[in-house]
Structure formats: C-alpha cells, structure tokens
Amino acid sequence: MFSSTTPMKPLLARQVCLGPRRQGTLRPMQSAGHFQSQPSSFGLSLVETESPSPAQVVGVSAAWRKLLMQAEMAAPQVQVAAIEGEPGIGKHTLARFLFSRSPLAGSSFQRRDAREWLVTDADPSTLAGCTYLDRVDLLAPPGQGLLLGVLKSLQDRQPGRAVLLASSQASLRQMAGQGLLMPDLAFRLTAVRFAIPPLRQRREDIALLAQALLDRICNRYQHRPVILGPGTLARLLQHSWPGNVRELASVLEAGLLEAVNGVIRPEDLPLTSGAETLAEVHPAVRPESLALDTVIRHHVQYVLDVNRGNKLRAARQLGISRSTLYRILGNEGVLAI
C-alpha cells in the first residue's frame, strides 16, 4: 500500500518530510549507533540500526519508577505506543527499554526520522522488529494521513511481528484538541502512551544519572574514573535543566575536560551561578521579538553564553551540528536551515 518503490509527487514528498515552514525546529542529534545506507527518493539516506542490548535506565524517583513499571507491564503486548517528553529527556532510552522487554528483543531496532521514513520505507507489510519514529509531532497533514494508513494496516497484522514506537516533544492528544493532529491518528498512537517527566521534576534522579553518565563518558574517553568534588552535586541540583538529561551529559563532559586530579569542581561546570528558574533560563523576549527565528536565535545565544563561548559544546547541548550553529549565529533564517 505504501511501497517505497511507489513514486510520490514532489510536493507531497516535501510536505511529508519538511512540514509547513512554521514547524521549523532545531533537530536533536542522533545517539551513537550503526548506520546503513539505503536508497531513497531523495538520494542516499541513513538508517540507524542498533544492537538489541538492553538500554540503561537510571532513576529512583517515584515518577520514574512508575513509568518503568508501566513499561514493563505494556512491553510484552505492545504493538504501537507513543513516548512524549521534552527535548533531551530520554525518549529514545525508554524506547530501547520497552524493546528490550518485548518478545522482539532479539530482533532489529531502527531509529528513523518520521518524515523521511514515511516517504521512503512506510510499507506495513515489510515492518519487522522495532521501528522508532522520531518527532511525529512535526508531521504535516499529508504525512499524518500516511502514518494513519500504516497504523490501520499494522492493526490487521498478527501481533508479535513488529512494534512501532512514536516519539513527540508535544502532547499528541493536546495537538489533536488544537486541530494540529488528526484525532484518529492521535487516538491510535496514544492508546499506549508514556509521558516522561522533565528532569527538574525528579531531582532525586540527578545524583544517580550523573554518576552513570560520568562512567559512560570516562569509558568513551578511556579516562580513569572521576568523582564530583565538594559542592558539585549541590550545584547540579540547583540547576533547572531545560535540556534535561542531554544537557546534564554535556555539562558533565565539559566538567571532565576541566577536572583536576580526577575531581570535578563546581567551577568546572559550564553553568551560570546561583539557583536558576525556568524564567531565568529563558529570559523574557520582548513582544516585538516573538518571531520564531528570533526566539530560536535568542536561545542559541543563551546556550553559547552558558558554555562560555565554546561553540562545539553549545552545538552538542542544542543537538545541532556546529555548521548549523554558525549559520544561526550568522543571522541566516533558522527556518530556512
């Protein structure tokens, strides 16, 4: 029905992949994985495939433990599920956890951009293993219609052959209520729904997360273990973490590079001083500067300031490439990128 070999009209393909211009966004970086080249109607595309090893989930907060318990209960039977949460919160990690607890744990796990996947590979008859679709909230109406068709076809298939997990930074039900998403699509995606609370609402997880992230970063750098010095954990607990776990990892990586004698001090962390609120992290923008280009550029400049002008670290924290960062700072229209 939705064979990747079926040619699409150029306008439809662009609408599915890009959506309307008002939906321009800073795309999160893909996590490390294995990539396979596949032909697509736009040339060569990259498909991220990962080993079926279980995802590492860390946390002790009541909200996080409840979420994992729900995932454990749903995993054996789930066929379609939505994972919602702010940027950098760990939607992909939860997807990997769900997959590791499902009957398909020994099969393939593919992470795809929802818009590209719908144009190139959205053939329900070929679905196998787990397909994780990034940012279904960015789909334009034509793409929403295609995804709805895929879900209807998947519903008619025998369970246990394929799992489709859809991630969104916005509440899909709220989007449907606002007329931004087809209600039928929202109902089908959110029959099983996991909403990950932001890190600022579960600060008791920060200490364990910080240690797990430090271990991973040290292993990647082949660096001897480091510890958090006096006052460092307190400094981490004070921060509001608008970038959630991804920001925490970026801050700790920067701290590791500044550490002395295997100890990360509070001053090694690229964070502004003093306890921060969300209002301080996102200073108010004047009403005349509410254009999306301006707001995004304002936030990018803030993150650059937090990272003391280090463009590489800022780009990593924002989840964009350094070349994209340079284009934004060079006043190129963000929505044109």
Using the predicted structure, report yes or no on whether residue 94 has a pLDDT greater than 60: yes
Q: Find out whether 57 and 94 touch, Cβ atoms under 8 Å.
A: yes
**pLDDT band at residue 124 under the 50/70/90 scheme:** confident
pLDDT > 50? residue 49:
no
Q: Which of 4-13, 54-63, 100-109, 147-156 comes out lowest in average pLDDT? A: 4-13
Tell me which range, 54-63, 69-78, 297-306, is most confidently predicted by mean pLDDT.
69-78
Specify the DSSP element, H or E, that contains 282: none
Give whole-number Cα distances, 149 to 146, 153, 171, 295, in Å: 5, 6, 21, 35
CB 261 within 8 A of CB 279: no
Per the CB < 8 A criterion, the answer to whether 69 and 101 are in contact is no
Residue that wins the pLDDT comparison between 165 and 5: 165
pLDDT at residue 3 greater than cutoff 60: no
Q: 247-270, pLDDT tens digit by residue?
A: 999 999 999 999 999 999 999 999
What number is the average pLDDT over the span 201-222?
93
Question: In the structure encoding, which two tokens stand for residue 184, read together?
Answer: 């039928």
Q: Name the pTM for this structure.
A: 0.68
> How much is the pLDDT for 26?
32
Overall average pLDDT of the 117-126 stretch: 83
Tell me, what's the pLDDT at 282?
45
Residues 272-283 have a mean pLDDT of: 45
Q: CA 110, CA 40: separation in Å to the nearest integer?
A: 16
Instruction: Name the residue type at position 102.
Output: S
- Judged against a pLDDT cut of 60, whether residue 70 lies above it is answered with yes
Domains, the chain, ordered by start: 10-197 (3.40.50.300), 200-336 (1.10.8.60)
Averaged pLDDT, 56-77: 92
Q: So what's the pLDDT on residue 279?
A: 41
What's the pLDDT at 89? 94
Query: Which of 194-208, 261-275, 280-294 has maximum average pLDDT?
Result: 194-208
pLDDT surpasses 80 at 132: yes
The distance between the two most distant Cα atoms of the chain, rounded to a whole number of Å, is 61
Query: To the nearest whole number, what is the mean pLDDT of the chain?
Result: 79
Residue 334 reports pLDDT greater than 60: no
270 close to 254: Cβ distance less than 8 angstroms: yes
Region 148-167: what's the mean pLDDT?
89
Residue-wise pLDDT tens digits, 53-64: 445 688 899 999
Is residue 33 pLDDT above 60, yes or no?
no
